[in-house]
Amino acid sequence: MKRVVVTGLGAITPLGNTVNEFWENILAGKSAAGPITKFDSSKFKTQFACEVKDFNIEDYLDKKEVKKYDMFTQYAIAASDQAIQDAGLDFGQMSEEERYDVGVIWATGNGGIGTFESQLKEFNGGEGTPRFNPYFIPKMIVDIAAGVISIRHQLYGPNYCTVSACASSNTAIISAFDTIKMGKAKIMVAGGSEAAVTEASVGGFNAAQALSKNNENPQGASRPFDKQRDGFVMGEGAGALILEDLEHALARGAKIYAELVGTGMAADAYHLTGTHPEGLGAVLGMSKAIKEAGIEPQDIDYINAHATSTGIGDISELMGIKRVFGDHEVAVTGTKSMTGHLLGAAGAIESIISVLSVQHNVIPPTINTTELDEAVPAGLKIVLGKPLYQEVNYALNNTFGFGGHTATSLFKKYKAD
């Protein structure tokens, strides 16, 4: 089996439109939440979100091209371009045959929901013959970002989209890992994007009682594990990772951020939107990832928890962690307290956080959490308020999605043999 390493990163996030800016703001404990600017939210129960700011797609695309793509694809183009450049890859200098071994697996939960909404409004509000934009379907469908990235760089390897709700981009990373590990590609562009700060999305999650309604204090609204938490905060953006066959990376002299050594996918098989009360899916996902890596639970230094700031979800995940790790005092953080919940893109940006944690030996904080819920299991080292500087050799990233989907990725500090 091939070994798989991370050689490039790219990020478009509510906390910055480059990986460096994003990471600096994560370590500084900044909240990206603020009033919604993308539509009039005054009639909604939730009127705030973590929006991407100062994003200019024309830094990446010709102005004439922009109209072809929904915002989720625009975010995907920007993040993947960054990751490819960061990895030192120049696909234009590769032969066509070499690019047969480069693929793209790109995730989203909602795809072009903004395009879908705008087209339906135009359809319903129009007079005479109903007309749709010729780009309506290719802007909306969930697989299009993966296709656009491959077309943009002429990459002929495996190409598809993974959709597993909020576990989508972690699932994409796992699928890319498996593809390389089995020798079916040498380089994979993996990640996810989401642009779901829209009326239908906010209204729908409000109806499901999932979003925080703390309109008086948006920056303090996302508070994982806190006694006063009242739901998640919507986020948007994209994260991209370049995964590469270790031998190929070494042969071209690539810099290596970390090694991906274990993955786990499972199902709660419990409820349409809720997680198993004892964290069964989390237990299975983490256990599988640890087993595949060939290590023990006590080897794990850091868990980037899914931790959306919902009542049942936060506690069930911590119960699952306790079941897997027992008395091992593993550090746990909920970085959605800063970024909000990027839905299908969450796993990708949190994988970036996990990779950088391993590289820099620092664990980011959970912000806004002032009083832990009494149901939080004893013995867990939840990092609050400020970063924790310690050796990080192994970092786990948990993601869960509506429908009971579980995806866990495990990153290891890379050390040359």
Residue among 153, 248, 306, 405 flagged as catalytic: 306
- Which of 117-121, 127-131, 288-292 is most confident? 288-292
Q: What is the mean pLDDT of residues 291-295?
A: 98
In this prediction, residues 281-300 reach a mean pLDDT of 97
At 164 the pLDDT is 97
Contact 261, 26 (CB under 8 A): no
* Domain 4-251 matches domain 262-412 at the CATH topology level: yes
- Catalytic (active site) residue 360: no
Q: Which of 153, 248, 276, 341 is catalytic?
A: 341
pLDDT at 126: 65
Q: For position 129, what pLDDT does the model report? A: 66
Burial label, 239 (beta-carbon count in 10 A; 0-12, 13-18, 19+)? buried
Place 270 in a pLDDT band, splitting at 50, 70 and 90.
confident
pLDDT value for 269: 83
From 50, 166, 248, 405, the catalytic residue = 166
Nearest 5 degrees, angle CA 52-CA 347-CA 206? 60
Q: Residues 320-338: what's their mean pLDDT? A: 96
Q: Is the pLDDT of residue 325 over 90?
A: yes
Confidence at residue 408, expressed as pLDDT on a 0 to 100 scale = 98
For residues 307 and 313, give the distance between their C-alpha atoms in angstroms, rounded to a whole number.
7
Helices within 233-277 (DSSP H only) = 246-251
Answer yes or no: is pLDDT of 400 > 70: yes
E-strand stretches of 198-351: 237-245, 258-267, 302-304, 331-333
What does the pLDDT average to over 340-366? 98
Beta strands in 13-97 (DSSP E): 34-35, 48-49
Which of these ranges, 23-37, 274-288, 373-387, has the smallest mean pLDDT?
A: 274-288
- Would you state the structure tokens that stand for residue 347, as one six-digit string? 């796993």
Amino acid identity of residue 98, one-letter, is: E
Q: Which CATH superfamily is domain 4-251 in?
A: Thiolase/Chalcone synthase (3.40.47.10)
Q: Tens digits of per-residue pLDDT, 222-268?
A: 999 999 999 999 999 999 999 999 999 999 999 999 999 999 999 98
Q: Which CATH class is domain 262-412?
A: alpha beta
pLDDT per position as a tens digit, 38-68: 999 999 999 999 999 999 999 999 999 999 9
Counting every residue written for the chain, the total comes to 417
* pTM for this entry: 0.97
Strand order in the sheet with 394-401: 159-162, 102-107, 187-194, 237-245, 4-12, 258-267, 405-412, 394-401, 302-304, 331-333, 381-382
Cα 35 to the center of its chain, rounded Å: 22
Nearest to 109 by CA among 284, 337, 347, 410: 347
Residue 248 annotated as catalytic: no
In the numeric block, which tokens belong to residue 176?
Answer: 């890319």
Q: Where are the domains of the chain?
A: 4-251, 262-412
Dihedral of CA 92/93/94/96: which sign?
positive
pLDDT at 131: 80
State the pLDDT at residue 108: 98
Does residue 132 surpass a pLDDT of 90? no
pLDDT at 293 over 70: yes
The per-residue DSSP string of 276-290 comes to: PTT-HHHHHHHHHHH
Q: Which of the pair, 276 or 150, is modelled with greater confidence?
A: 150
Residue-level pLDDT at 271: 83
pLDDT for the residue 127:
65
| Cα(58)–Cα(146) distance, integer angstroms | 20
**pLDDT at residue 417, as a whole number:** 73
**Contact assessment for residue 262 and residue 208, using Cβ atoms and an 8 Å cutoff:** no
| pLDDT surpasses 70 at 128 | no
pLDDT category at 387 given cuts 50, 70, 90 is: very high
For the chain, give the percent of residues with pLDDT over 90: 90
Q: How far apart are CA 65 and CA 45, in angstroms?
A: 36
Write phi, then psi, for 189 (nearest 5 degrees). Answer: -90, 120
Instruction: Give the span between the Cα atoms of 193 and 114, in whole angstroms.
Output: 13
Instruction: Determine the average pLDDT of the residues in 350-360.
Output: 98
Q: Which residues of 279-288 are buried (b: 16+ CB within 10 A; e: fewer)?
A: bbbbbbbbbb
The single-letter DSSP state of residue 211 is B
pLDDT of residue 251: 97
Specify the range with the lowest mean pLDDT, choosing from 149-163, 271-285, 390-404.
Answer: 271-285
Query: Is 328 among the catalytic positions?
Result: no
Q: Are 249 and 7 in contact (CB under 8 A)?
A: yes
Mean pLDDT (the chain, rounded) = 96
